[in-house]
């Protein structure tokens, strides 16, 4: 079974027919991307969404002082892109590992969802993503850095192993040095 088919079946909560699977697969372009490749950057008129077959990517911004701030990470069987497409993006998308991605433009994705008769499933999936982002924002604003680290570690144990500490620190809104202190303190406590 294909990564794309698995993604749609899971994300949209549907079971595709053989002809639907063939159509969906024909709409995507498979690309191999080396680690540290910038897929799109701030100002680009990005119109693509990406499903990750293998690897890890990060969506980030660069603040006025030149500091990178990680917004999201996406790994195998997840989708990432800029939902504001086709407007010029304010984000950067970069691979943090050698990756295999499937890309589709916004128009193509909308057509696939239409052909599948799955607009409700897409809407529900987007709603789940939106709720997740809201919860992350509330967590950053209302919890300590240590609480956010412990939550991240519990929720994404594989990312703790796959990402450099400075990327995790950026995601949590702390310096790499402060994250090292949190890790040392929480390791001692256990």
pLDDT per position as a tens digit, 80-105: 888 777 788 999 999 999 999 999 98
pLDDT tens figures, 111-149: 887 887 766 666 666 666 667 777 888 888 899 999 999
Give the CATH number for residue 23.
2.60.120.10
pLDDT tens digits for range 154-173: 999 999 999 999 999 999 99
At residue 37, φ and ψ (nearest 5 deg) are: -90, 130
For residues 72 and 148, state if they share a domain.
no
Specify the pLDDT at position 1.
Answer: 45
CB atoms within 10 A of CB 138: 10
Same domain assignment for residues 150 and 137: no
Q: Residue 109: which domain range?
A: 3-141
- Distance, in Å, from the CA atom of 157 to the CA atom of 37, rounded to the nearest integer, reads 24
Torsion of CA 19, 27, 16, 57, to 10 degrees: 150
Which pair of structure tokens corresponds to residue 19? 């002809």
**29/111 same-domain check:** yes
Nearest CA to 46 among 93, 100, 99, 115?
93
Distance of CA 182 to the CA centre of its chain: 25
- Residue pair 25/4 in contact by the 8 Å Cβ criterion: yes
**Residue 84: closest CA among 76, 96, 74, 93:** 93
Q: How many domains does the chain have?
A: 2
């Amino acid at each position: 079974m294909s990564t794309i088919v698995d993604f749609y079946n899971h994300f949209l909560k549907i079971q595709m027919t053989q002809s639907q699977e063939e159509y969906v697969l024909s709409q995507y372009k498979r690309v191999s991307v080396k680690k540290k490749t910038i897929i799109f950057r701030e100002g680009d008129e990005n119109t693509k969404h990406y499903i990750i077959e293998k690897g890890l990517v990060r969506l980030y911004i660069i603040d006025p002082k030149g500091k990178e701030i990680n917004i999201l990470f996406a790994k195998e069987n997840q989708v990432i892109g800029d939902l504001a497409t086709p407007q010029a993006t304010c984000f950067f998308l970069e691979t943090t590992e050698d990756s295999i991605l499937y890309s589709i433009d916004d128009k193509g994705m909308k057509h696939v969802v239409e052909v599948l008769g799955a607009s409700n499933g897409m809407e529900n999936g987007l709603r789940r993503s939106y709720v997740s982002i809201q919860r992350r924002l509330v967590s950053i604003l209302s919890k300590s850095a240590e609480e956010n680290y412990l939550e991240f570690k519990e929720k994404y144990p594989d990312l703790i192993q796959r990402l450099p500490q400075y990327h995790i620190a950026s995601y949590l809104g702390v310096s790499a040095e402060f994250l090292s202190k949190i890790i040392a303190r929480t390791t001692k406590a256990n």
